[in-house]
Structure 1
Amino acid sequence: MLYTFKDTLGREYSVDMDDKRFRIKPYQQMLSSCTGALLTSILMTPLDVVKTRLQTQQKRMASNRCYVYCNGLMDHLCPCPNGTLKSLKTQSTHYNGMIDAFYKISRYEGARSLWSGLSPTLVLALPATICYFVSYEGTRIYMKDFYLKLNPGQTEQPFSIPLLAGMAARVFSVSVVSPLELIRTKMQSQKLSYYEVGKALKATIQTEGIFGLWRGLGPTVFRDVPFSGVYWAIYESLKVHHDVTVPTFGFSFFGGAISGSIAAFLTAPFDVVKTHKQIEFGEKVLYAEHPVKSLPKVGTIAILRRIFEQHGVKGIFAGVIPRVVKVAPACAIMITSFEYGKAFFFRHNVDIYIEKNGSVS
């Protein structure tokens, strides 16, 4: 990718953004991505809450004691044994789509409930973003250098490099932050205090060991790894197709939104499986009247088949609309801030090099 600019003397240069002399450093990659991560977390958490509620809604509970207390939210799935529903007693808590879920959550729990799990989301976003973008850039550049070394006549990276680099980066990042993802899902699927979340995590470790904190990692990998590969492959392909070397704000925003939407739709079934597995653990182990010591191992394909048999195609794609509505602008914000940061730091690195060496030639 060539970046064209003029120096202070008016001389024009065309420099490869992956040139070893000017590549952005890991700490610069972190700064480029963290701002987008903060904005995305704050703006997109309500859509994530709605998506989780819609997916949880179709999950049948194993007993009448699914949660620590009843707040009227999940009574269509888990009847409240003490009958203390107060003003919510006669209210329906069945969500008829995304807009209805927004309305009922805001009305019955308060608008702040739409940001349930924001704290762990913020804690999750920074390490996840750092791990993901730094590992993606490092892997992509390494693979590109290796490819160009084997193919001296080539100057551009092939379609497969961003695809594989995105998948490898996602495997690493989701493995690192999976326990925090588990906490966030628990807080969004029901209204729990931090004390109750702590008790749930303690019970998880006691019943399943420390590796229980990685429950749902398999479906998460199935969901996020292909998502990441498809996303980066489409985005980089759009840049090549439109002959874009340094993306503008508009290109990054719409290119990221299009790529994210396609990837989110294709991988939505795996997001449903991940939510089902994490919620099922709470039903049968943490809050059941006669909790089991451990859950049988059920594969992702088997769960998808079961969901399809019970709910059809609609069940497999439960929450897909808020997922796409969330992912599209989230990807747009993230890639726009990242590309802007990359261009800024790249120019900064080039200027420093020119000051030391007089020119880039």
Structure 2
Amino acid sequence: NPFHKGKCFVYSNGLMDHICVCENGDSKAWYKKPGHFKGTLDAFVKIIRIEGIKSLWSGLPPTLVMAVPTTVIYFTCYDQLSEALKNRLGKDDEYIPLLAGSLSRFGSTTVVSPLELIRTRMQYRKLSYKQLYLCVSTKVAADGWFSLWTGWSPTVLRDVPFSALYWYNYERFKKMMCKEVGANEPTFFISFTSGAASGSIAAVITQPFDVVKTHRQIQLWESETLKIPQRDGTSTWAVMRKILARNGITGLYTGITPRLVKIAPACAIMISTYEYGKSVFSHLNEKMNQRP
């Protein structure tokens, strides 16, 4: 983060963001930044050369702990909501993916938000479970239960529109490609291509909210860990106005290239694997039901 050099940085591995303390901060970071990067490709080359290819998967275990239940809730809700909306609005209603995607992401984000806050605290402070319990209980006692949903609004503003745009475009691209090749159900390639395209479109449109979310994470870290008072407003719109005043509209699209590089394949792999798995289990159920 260029505005907070020497304090902390936000690391993202494709599924979730991680706040990390810099090497020259109060403690050592688990990730050692190998100098300055000229671009995404340059970053890949330098990280692999200096730290080895395994470092590209740094922080994967804590990510999976959060990502697995979040994804299970998200996809289950989407499928159930889609079926419920089809029964009410009709199977051919093109806005069903948009509604189901929005509601399912809103629900999963709201449910997991307190866990996300706890995970973030554990990342920039080495706390035992007892210390973590005391930290959380003290915050609840001081600020109430709603304090556990700190950072919820910028996350929702980023993830809900992303989800709505993603599912809406994915279903359209999938139908279009199936019609083009004459397939009754999507192949792995169709799902993969549709997922990558729809994920890229959603990422570009929602990038400003991703930038704001990162800035708010940094502000929270500074105020609670470095005890730096926040003079400016910390609301989503206040942070957005601050970025616009300082860097213009381009400031809201900082990091769009690496985000596209991570989002496109992540969405493609996730949805194609999900569709393939759903198809396999669907055929297995049909075979089992046909047995005498």
Give the TM-score category using the shorter length: 0.7 to 0.9
1:183 to partner: Cα distance? 5.5
Name which of structure 1's ranges 139-148 and 204-213 shifts more when overlaid on structure 2: 204-213
- Residue 233 of structure 2 contacts residue 239 of structure 2 at CA under 8 Å; is this kept in 1? no
- How do 1:131-150 residues align onto structure 2 when only pairs under 5 Å count? 131-148=73-90
AA at the equivalent of 1:216: G
1:220 to 2:220 alignment: no
CA contact (8 A) 1:219 1:273 kept: yes
C-alpha deviation, 1:337, in angstroms: 1.0
Contact 1:200 1:286 in 2 (8 A): no
The correspondence for 1:175, drawn from 110, 113, 122, is 110
- Check conservation: 1:59, 1:276, Cα contact below 8 A: no
1:113 CA displacement: 4.9
In 1, Cα distance between the equivalents of 2:40 and 2:71?
Answer: 27
What letter matches 2:266 in structure 1?
A
Separation of aligned partners in 2, 1:81 and 1:125 = 29
* Letter paired with 1:71: E
Three-state SS of the structure 2 residue aligned to 1:158 is coil
Whether the 8 Å CA contact 1:252–1:335 is kept in 2: the answer is yes
Quickly say closer, same or farther: Cα 1:259–1:211, change in 2 above 3 A.
Answer: same
Aligned to 1:260: 199
How many residue pairs get aligned? The number is 272
Match of 1:125 in 2: 67
CA contact (8 A) 2:7 2:22 kept: no
Report percent identity of matched pairs. 43
Change in CA separation of 1:99 and 1:225 when aligned onto 2, cut-off 3 Å:
same
Give a deviation string over 1:291-319, Cα, whole Å, max 9, x none: 55x99863322211211211223321122
Q: Report the CA distance between 1:185 and its aligned residue.
A: 5.6
Match of 2:267 among 319, 327, 331: 331
Q: Which residue of 1 aligns with 2:190?
A: 251
* Contact 2:216–2:234 (CA under 8 A) maintained in structure 1: no
Distance 1:348 1:178 in 2: 36
Change (3 A) 1:176 1:81: closer
Kindly tell me: are residues 102 and 185 of structure 1, through their superposed partners in 2, closer, same or farther at Cα, counting changes over 3 Å?
farther
Deviation at 1:105, TM superposition (A): 5.3
User: What is residue 303 of structure 1 aligned with on the other side?
Assistant: 239
2-structure distance, mates of 1:295, 1:214: 22
Corresponding letter in the other structure for 2:2: Q
Q: Which runs of 5+ in 1 are unaligned?
A: 1-56, 73-79, 149-155, 357-361
Which range is displaced more, 173-182 or 230-239? 173-182
Aligned pairs (5 A) from 1:177-256: 177-182=112-117, 192=124, 194-195=126-127, 203=135, 206-207=138-139, 208=143, 210-242=145-177, 243=179, 244-256=183-195
Q: Distance in 2 between matches of 1:319 and 1:172?
A: 27
Q: 1:184 to 1:251 in 2, by over 3 A?
A: farther
* Pair 1:280-2:219 in alignment: yes
Distance 1:198 1:106 in 2: 37
Partner of 1:166: 101
Q: Contact 1:234–1:259 (CA<8 Å) still a contact in 2?
A: yes
Distance 1:110 1:212 in 2: 40
Matches within 5 A, 1:23-42: none
Distance 1:202 1:113 in 2: 33
Distance 1:193 1:103 in 2: 30
Task: Summarize the Cα distance change of 1:323–1:70 in structure 2 as closer, same or farther, 3 Å threshold.
Answer: closer
Give the partner amino acid of 2:207.
A
After superposition, give the CA deviation of every residue in 1:82-135 in whole Å (9 maximum; x if it has no partner): 9x9xxx9xx994444323444565677776554343222101111011100000
Secondary structure at 2:185's aligned position in 1? coil
Structure 2 gaps of 5+ residues are: 10-19
Are the counterparts in 2 of residues 205 and 212 from structure 1 also a CA contact under 8 Å?
no
How far apart in 2 are the matches of 1:96 and 1:134?
41
Instruction: Provide the secondary structure at the position in 2 that maps to 1:298.
Output: coil
The structure richer in helix per residue is 2
Q: Which residue of 1 aligns with 2:13?
A: none
Cα distance change on mapping 1:320 and 1:185 into 2, 3 Å: farther
Q: CA RMSD in A?
A: 3.5
- Describe the SS at the equivalent of 1:247: coil
Q: Report the Cα distance in structure 2 between the residues aligned to 1:273 and 1:201, rounded to whole angstroms.
A: 29
Q: Residues 129-165 of structure 1, C-alpha deviation per residue, up to 9 Å, x if partnerless?
A: 11000000000000001123xxxxxxx4221001100
Q: With CA pairs under 8 Å and 6+ residues apart, which has the higher RCO, 1 or 2?
A: 1
